[in-house]
Structure formats: C-alpha cells, structure tokens
Amino acid sequence: MKLTRRRLLGTVGGGLAAGTLGIPLAFAQAKEPQVGIVVKIGGIPWFNAMDMGIKKEAPVDKVNAWMVGPTQADAAQQVRAIEDLIARKVDVIGVVPNDSAALEPVLGRAKAAGIKVITHEGPDQKSNDWDFEMTTIEAYGHEHMDLLAKEMGSEGKYIVYVGSLTVPLHNAWADAAIAYQKQTYPKMEMLGDRFGVAESLDESIKTTQDQLRAHPDLKGILTFGSQGPIGAAKVLDDRGKAKSIALVGGFSPGQGQKYVMNGTIRGGYIWNPLVAGQVFVQLASLLAAGKTPTDGMEMVEVGPVKVYPDKRLIQVQKLESLDKANIKRLADLGL
C-alpha cells in the first residue's frame, strides 16, 4: 500500500503517538497559518521587493504567506481583496492601506471573524491588532526636509507629492516635513497644496511638467511615494533642470539608481521593503500562535524593537540613505 500523507495522518489518528515510526511531528500538527498581505499596488519595484521578503521569511516561520497586489492604488480594490481573504478564512491579514477610513468596515469584519489584522504604514488604523513602522513620522519627515533645504540653499519655492491624499503615512510625513520647514527654514516656501500623485509614474510625470510651466522659479520637489521621484526625475532630466531644481524623496533603488548617479535625484531615505515583508510574516506567525509582541523583542533584520501596547504600535528605526555611496549596494540587493 502506498503510504500517502493522508494515510500517514490516518495512522497517527488511529492511536499511534505522533513522532513514532519516524513520523515527523509536523504531520500530526495543525496546518500552517494562512497569511494574506494586501499592499497598495502590485507590479512596482517597492512592493515586488516586499513580496520577495514575504516569500523569503514564510518557510522560516512555517507559515503559508502570500502578497495580494491590486492593479491600482485604490481603496476599493483593497476592500475586495480583504473580503476575499475573509471568505478564505485566513488566520492573519496584513495591509499597507491606501485609505485607512475606507478600510475600517472590512477590517472590522475580519476581526469579528477571528482574523488577526496587521497594518504597515497605517498608524491611524483603528480596526487592527498591531501596526508596525520602520521609522517615526517625525524622523522621516525631518530627514527629508533637512536634505531638501541643504540642496536648495535653505531658501526658495518647493512643491510636495504624496502617494495619494488618503494614504495616511505619506500625508503624516508631509505634515511633519512642512511644519518643520516653517519652523526651521523660514526662507523656503511651499507652493499650493500637496499633490496626490506619487504612486503613479504617469501622474508624477504630468504633474511635474505642469508645475514647471506654472512656476518657472521652482527650486525644489519633495516627494513621499516611490514613483514620485522617478517621474519627476524623468522630466527634470529631459528638460535640463536637474541642476536648478532639487529633487528629494524615497524610491526603489534599482529604479532610481541612474538618476542618483547623474545628480537628478539629490537623495532621500527609505527602509528596506524586503525587510518589511519579512517583519510582516514574523509578526503574523507570532499572532497566529496566540502570542503578544513585547518591548525589546528581536525581529528579523532589525533587532530589538519598541512596543507600545496602548497604541498597538511596533516601532523600528532603520533607514537607508539613497545617496551615491549607498545606492548601488541597495540596488544589488534587488530593491
């Protein structure tokens, strides 16, 4: 008789102790926890790298984890993806939210169904169990504004891009950066309001073209959202404006490496999205096992973390500089 896995399990269930006859304990235990992670948009380098991290960590933590990437940075598509995961009765749902308010009802239903919910880049999400961040809002906003000010000579007019006007963390970073500029660099002036284009290459290109026409005296562009620097850089490079307009922001290193090396992108800061994917999986494994995050616990690739139970926040501080000295190393990691 062929000893299939089903028959092995039947033998164990028929009275033999798990581990006897050389049967691994894993055969007698429950199935691996099921973890679905819904990101803002699929197919762009940032989330491709996160997917790599998810796939790398899943076998280490013995979970079945996968990424769901909507075709557009659209809250409605995220809602549908989460509804599908609820129907599949997964153990944990992870989300990088496009619109925290729009996701509240469906995440509430997930929790009511007994599913653990983890967010990333969602510090104001209410219907979650935990949120984890790879930097503080203030540190990320201030670091970028300091760099922009340095490259602009601390004076002149600048504009701000975010992924969309509903992405919570992008707008929080922008708030921190703008408030810091007003206090620290009074000779700098933000033009108009922020533009919600930085998760779309095409929209970042079009907006940069429009703003160059509208403001010939523009001296800086600050962008939060991985496609913003790339789209803006393409326009500045094509029009010979790289030396006169300082462009600063976070992006996927492989996508923006050439623009850093030729000086079109002056720099920026990111955390490693591959590592964020690994943290998602490690945290999901912890919650699926019924455990609670604790202050000072070690997490993959980042070391000890700060845990704030009252905020349901796991805080990491691990930024990478996107400068000429560091960009190739990051790009060579596949980012």
The number of distinct structural domains making up the chain is 2
Packing angle of the helix pair 228-238, 201-214 (nearest 10 deg): 50
Same domain, 157 and 197: yes
**What is the biggest distance separating any 2 CA atoms in the chain, rounded to whole angstroms?**
83
Same domain, 107 and 87: yes
Same domain, 187 and 278: no
Same domain, 178 and 255: yes
Same domain, 278 and 213: no
DSSP state of 289: T
* 148: CATH: 3.40.50.2300
Residue for token pair 């490690």:
282
Same domain, 257 and 278: no
Establish if 24 belongs to a structural domain.
Answer: no
pLDDT at position 17: 33
Residue 67: exposed, middle, or buried by beta-carbon count in 10 A (0-12, 13-18, 19+)?
Answer: buried
Q: Residue ranges of the alpha helices (H) in 158-223? A: 168-184, 201-214
Domain boundary among 270, 292, 327: 270
Establish if 11 belongs to a structural domain.
Answer: no
Is the Cβ–Cβ distance between 161 and 249 less than 8 Å? yes
Is the Cβ–Cβ distance between 123 and 131 less than 8 Å? yes
pLDDT at position 30: 57
Same domain, 188 and 124: no
Establish if 328 belongs to a structural domain.
Answer: no
Domain boundary among 210, 243, 270: 270
Domain boundary among 270, 289, 310: 270
Establish if 233 belongs to a structural domain.
Answer: yes
- Of 187, 186, 233, nearest to 212 by C-alpha is 233
| Low-confidence stretches of the chain (pLDDT beneath 70) | 1-30
Establish if 175 belongs to a structural domain.
Answer: yes
Establish if 23 belongs to a structural domain.
Answer: no
This prediction has a pTM of 0.78
Same domain, 179 and 244: yes
**H-helix or E-strand spanning residue 188:** strand 188-190
Same domain, 61 and 115: yes
Same domain, 276 and 221: no
pLDDT tens digit string along 28-51?
345 899 999 999 999 888 899 999
Packing angle of the helix pair 137-152, 168-184 (nearest 10 deg): 50
The domain of 116 spans 30-135+272-319
Is the Cβ–Cβ distance between 158 and 189 less than 8 Å? yes
Same domain, 131 and 276: yes
CA distance 294 to 305: 8
Establish if 64 belongs to a structural domain.
Answer: yes
Establish if 9 belongs to a structural domain.
Answer: no
Same domain, 44 and 112: yes
